[in-house]
Amino acid sequence: MTFAALAFTVLGATLLYLQAPRQAWRRTPLPTAPTRLAGIVSLLIGLLVWQTMTSPVTGFFIQLTLLMLAFALFPYLALLRPRRG
């Protein structure tokens, strides 16, 4: 259950990051509308799973903490990728 909540939260954050115009993982961002919708739905599912495992307030802050960590690390993870020509 914890892995599912963590996976949905990270997936949602990743999708929201990849649709941003200034993301650094791809040459062009993913299409905005469908990717943003998929990211938000994934985050809502993750939030629901966190809240069923813990209290609603605790689940909210767990997800918020994971989102802060993910959005802080994503630009630095792009630096680990080898550059092509």
Residues 14-25: tens digit of each pLDDT: 999 999 999 988
Helix (H) or strand (E) holding 62: helix 56-79
What pTM, to 2 d.p., does this model score? 0.89
Residue 11 predicted with pLDDT over 80: yes
Q: Which two tokens stand for residue 6?
A: 């963590």
**Domain spans in the chain, listed from the N-terminal domain onward:** 2-79
In DSSP notation, 5-59 reads: HHHHHHHHHHHHHHTSTT-SSSSSPPPHHHHHHHHHHHHHHHHHHHHHHS-HHHH
Residues above pLDDT 90, as percent of the chain = 79
What angle do helix axes 32-53 and 56-79 make, rounded to 10 degrees?
130
**Which pLDDT tens digit goes with each residue over 22-51?**
998 888 999 999 999 999 999 999 999 999
- For 81, the 3-state DSSP assignment is coil
